Structure 1
Amino acid sequence: MPEAPEVEALASFLRGRLVGRAVTGVELVEGRALKTRARPLEEVIGRVVAGVTRHGKHIDVDLDGVHLGLGFGRAGWATWDEGLSAERSGQTPVAAVIARLMFGDAVLGITDAGDWLSVQLHVVDAADEVPSVAKLGPDAADPAYSRAMLAEALGGRRKQLKALLQEQETLAGIGNAYSDEILFAARLSPVMHAAALTDDEITRLWSALHDTMTAAVIARRGVPIAEQKAAKVAAMRVHGRTGEPCPDCGGVVEDIPGTKGGGQWCPSCQSAG
């Protein structure tokens, strides 16, 4: 799942290539992905890109007042072909292609590699008309996100920390992988409840969140979009590393109980919770 650092890198990549260019054609390969049925994708043809912004794990493309919202879900991503004719690119076999937007001799492809469709496209008048964007909480990768804001978000809630970190209404942009990495850095158990945190533990969690997300945003910057997933996987210290030695204590990284292999932690380092 692309999370805030990867989506930020993609937004920056697209901003540098799309702003000032007009959409010359579209192709919707998977009709179920378009959630605004009353507003077809063809509505963006002829419009010039004025900006590209990130909202949590979503991207908004401002097309001179009409907005195209891109939600990548669990397995969505993008491809970029330049120097090809629209006709030739449209025939390029991409197994998971969901939609294509043509910009003259360049083509932006939206893909989904999952077993079930998770990509969502919205044609709207403003970014926050996309339901999943409208309910987003503060951005986890925002340097201005403070300890006080985190403490307020935790609010003594009896919810496990891993689940809370992934709750987009509370803190936007964190998914399965970075929640594991943040909790490992904070030395906190993923199944610990927010209500049980001491003031010192809240400070540790905030510092780990800030440092992890900041470092990841910087690390993903400039990485080709086709290599973003591999770069993310390579950077993980515990996520996805079941059975491997902990990089800090040498203990064994294990699956988080109850996640069925979907999350990982080091019990030796994070067992205080």
Structure 2
Amino acid sequence: MPELPEVTALAAFLDARLAGATVDRVFVVSPSALKTASPPYTDLVGRSIESVGRRGKYLVFRVAPDGSSGEGADDGGGRLLVVVHLALGGWVKVHDELPEATLGRGKGYSAARFGFVRGEETTGIDLTEAGTWKRLAVWIVRRLEDVPAIAELGPEPLEDSFTLERFRSLLNKRQQIKGLLRNQKIIAGIGNAYSDEILHLAKLSPFAVASTLDDGETERLYAALRSTLEGATTEAIGRPPEDLKDEKRASMRVHRRTGEACPVCGDTIREVTFSDSALQYCPTCQTGGKLLADRTTSKFLK
């Protein structure tokens, strides 16, 4: 699943390509992907894109009010927001031509297709999803808060307001730190991959309980969180969408590196599997050399 760094880079790429462009056409290929009925998606046609941004793991297309550039208008005065959650297997494909309603044969499927015109430049956008789960979701709303999951999102971890003290206040829970970092209601934008990377850099067990971390561990975790996300975002910005997934995989130190050598200490990277996911960690760096057991059969290590 794309996380904060990739979605930030994807939004920046789309903003540079689409800001000022007019929506020429919209095709909802998979009706189940569209989570709202009003305003209708047909209301997007003929309007211009003001910007493309991000909130948490969500892409946010700001669409100007009908018949204007949107300058000076508030969010209740006609501006629309197209909010996209790519889920586990979703992605954005960018083309240099306007799309047609029908698709050629290929792997996966397209949930929606958009066509944009800016001067002599045309752009086609496909929202695609691999696999069979079909969790990619699109909302067309007037306010971000009209998307329930966005209304519940926690703070953005790279904003200046996300201080050490703010972070410390979020750790007063009897919850394992791996799950807390991934909880979008507590911190927005971090998923399975970067939580593994953050915990490895912080030298903390993924099963450590958040409320038991001492001051030194909390400071180390905060520094690791910021540096990991900042570094990954810097590396991702400027790359085209088709390169972002490979860049993410290549940059990982422990995530999806089971059986490989830890780049810090040389120990073998281990894995704990769950029903629908897995985590990776280094025993030497993170758990004092102890192996973490499966949660269904053994007691967690702290």
Q: What TM-score do you get using the length of structure 1 for normalisation?
A: 0.94
Q: Is the 8 A contact 2:98 2:116 kept in 1?
A: no
CA drift at 1:196: 1.3
Q: Residue 249 of structure 2 aligns with which residue?
A: 233
Q: Residue 109 of structure 2 aligns with which residue?
A: 96
The equivalences for 1:150-169 within 5 A come to 150-155=167-172, 157-169=173-185
Q: Residue 76 of structure 2 aligns with which residue?
A: none
Distance in 1 separating the partners of 2:183 and 2:251? 23
Give yes or no for the alignment of 1:243 onto 2:259: yes
Q: Residue 67 of structure 2 aligns with which residue?
A: none
Give yes or no for the alignment of 1:72 onto 2:86: yes
Q: Is the 8 A contact 1:71 1:120 kept in 2?
A: yes
What is the SS of the residue equivalent to 2:2? coil
For residue 145 of structure 2, the aligned residue among 112, 128, 132 is 128
CA drift at 1:146: 1.1
Q: What amino acid maps onto 2:91 in structure 1?
A: W
Structure 1: unaligned runs, 5 residues or longer? none
Comparing 111-120 and 207-216, the one that deviates more: 111-120
For residue 222 of structure 1, the aligned residue among 221, 229, 238 is 238
Which protein is richer in helix relative to its size? 1
CA drift at 1:90: 4.9
Distance in 2 separating the partners of 1:40 and 1:260? 35
What is the SS of the residue equivalent to 1:218? helix
Q: Residue 37 of structure 1 aligns with which residue?
A: 37
CA drift at 1:258: 4.7
Residue 271 to residue 146, structure 1, CA distance change in 2 (3 Å): same
Distance in 2 separating the partners of 1:108 and 1:67? 16
Distance in 2 separating the partners of 1:144 and 1:5? 18
Identity of aligned residues (%): 37
Q: What amino acid maps onto 2:39 in structure 1?
A: R
Q: Is the 8 A contact 1:143 1:210 kept in 2?
A: no
For residue 157 of structure 2, the aligned residue among 117, 140, 159 is 140
Q: Residue 107 of structure 1 aligns with which residue?
A: 124
Q: What amino acid maps onto 1:227 in structure 2?
A: D
CA drift at 1:118: 1.4
Distance in 1 separating the partners of 2:31 and 2:275? 32
Q: What TM-score do you get using the length of structure 2 for normalisation?
A: 0.85
Q: Residue 55 of structure 1 aligns with which residue?
A: 55
Residue 151 to residue 85, structure 1, CA distance change in 2 (3 Å): closer
Paired residue total = 270
Q: Residue 256 of structure 1 aligns with which residue?
A: 272
Comparing 134-143 and 212-221, the one that deviates more: 134-143
Distance in 1 separating the partners of 2:31 and 2:90? 15
Q: Is the 8 A contact 1:143 1:214 kept in 2?
A: no
Runs of 4+ aligned residues of structure 1 deviating over 6 Å after TM superposition are none
Structure 2: unaligned runs, 5 residues or longer? 65-78, 289-301
Q: Residue 200 of structure 1 aligns with which residue?
A: 216
Q: Is the 8 A contact 1:76 1:114 kept in 2?
A: no
